[in-house]
Amino acid sequence: MRFYNNQHKYYCGIDLHTRKMYVCIIDEKGEIKEHRNMKTDRDAFLRAIAPFREDIVVAVECIFTWYWVADLCHNEGIPFVLGHALYMKAIHGGKAKNDKIDSHKIAALLRGGMIPMSYVYPERMRATRDLMRRRNHLMRKRSELYAHIQNTNSQYNLPDSFGCLAVPKNRNGIIEQFEHPSVQESITADMEIIRSYDVILSQLEKSIINMAIHHDPVSYALLQTIPGVGKIIALIILYEVENIRRFASVQDFASYSRLVKCGKEIFR
């Protein structure tokens, strides 16, 4: 885990929500210079930090609303830190908790060099990464329908397995194998939704592949030379990693990929 420890004259912590955000600005001595609730508005935020723009760093916790703040800070040349939500929860947890307190804690962690950093995924490929994640979500939903059909097969102890339902030809004649009209209707509903997912997922995959060829054709092609890595796995790696240079070492990348167990040493 990396911590942000650069020194600045002012530190801005934001407890960010969809419509409102609590902004806390403290100086290098820890004294509060600005502490107020405001709308999540770009211009209002820039006005709030204007007196401190000479040397300020901004930090927010990594929740779903951080994109616009990161992009605004990047465009305005303001240092930005994205706090790792899981590790921040462990650090600044307490009995008293509200937006005002949280914004001050974020600013204090930032000043003290104790805010755990999450990767600020750049805007250029971020939307396609989110589309890839949405595609994975829809794939899981389609798999749930496959599982429901196979489980229904087991419920009625039909003699033959349906095989891999991801192969369209294995879906032929499935509905007729069930005798009860209500069961047939249930399986028909599953099959209709699966066919819809097939069309949507095919279109998404084509679109994402075209974007990958535009974003980083060399990396996308090289990833597919790895044994067992096809077009889809290559897309997942490409858009989740984004830039391999952000990892200082092979060990860091292995840890990021959850391929290394975390050891705990206890000294007695």
Does residue 92 carry a pLDDT above 70?
A: no
What's the rounded Cα separation, in Å, for the pair 25 and 20? 16
Q: What is the pLDDT of residue 95?
A: 63
What pLDDT is stored for residue 2 in this prediction?
A: 86
Mean pLDDT, the chain, integer: 91
**Who contacts 32 (Cβ-Cβ below 8 Å, separation ≥6)?**
24, 25, 26, 104
Whether residue 127 is found in the same domain as residue 242:
yes
In tens, the pLDDT along 182-217 reads 999 999 999 999 999 999 999 999 999 999 999 999
Mean pLDDT of 90-104: 75
Is 33 in the same domain as 100? Answer: yes
- Assigned token pair, 131: 């589309």
Take residue 204 and report the two structure tokens written for it.
């998404």
Domain count, the chain: 2
Evaluate if residue 45 carries a pLDDT over 90. Answer: yes
Look at residue 264 in the predicted model and tell me its pLDDT: 62
Q: What does the pLDDT read at residue 64?
A: 87
Whichever domain contains 50, its CATH number is 3.30.420.40
Q: Are residues 40 and 149 in the same domain?
A: no
pLDDT band for 146, please (50, 70, 90 cuts).
very high
The one-letter code for the residue type at 194 is I
Beta bridge partners of 23: 14, 36
Of 52, 20, 53, 17, the closest CA to residue 34 belongs to 52
Does a structural domain hold residue 267? no
Same domain, 28 and 77: yes
Whether residue 31 sits in one domain with residue 149: no
pTM score, two decimals? 0.84
Claim to verify: residue 110 and residue 209 sit in the same structural domain:
no
Distance between terminal CA atoms of the chain? 25
Based on the fold, state whether residues 165 and 98 are members of the same structural domain: no
- Look up the domain containing 149 and give its range: 123-256
d(CA 127, CA 133): 10
Mean pLDDT is lowest, of 25-39, 116-130, 157-171, 234-248, for 157-171
Identify the pLDDT of residue 257.
86
Q: Residue 262: inside a domain, yes or no?
A: no
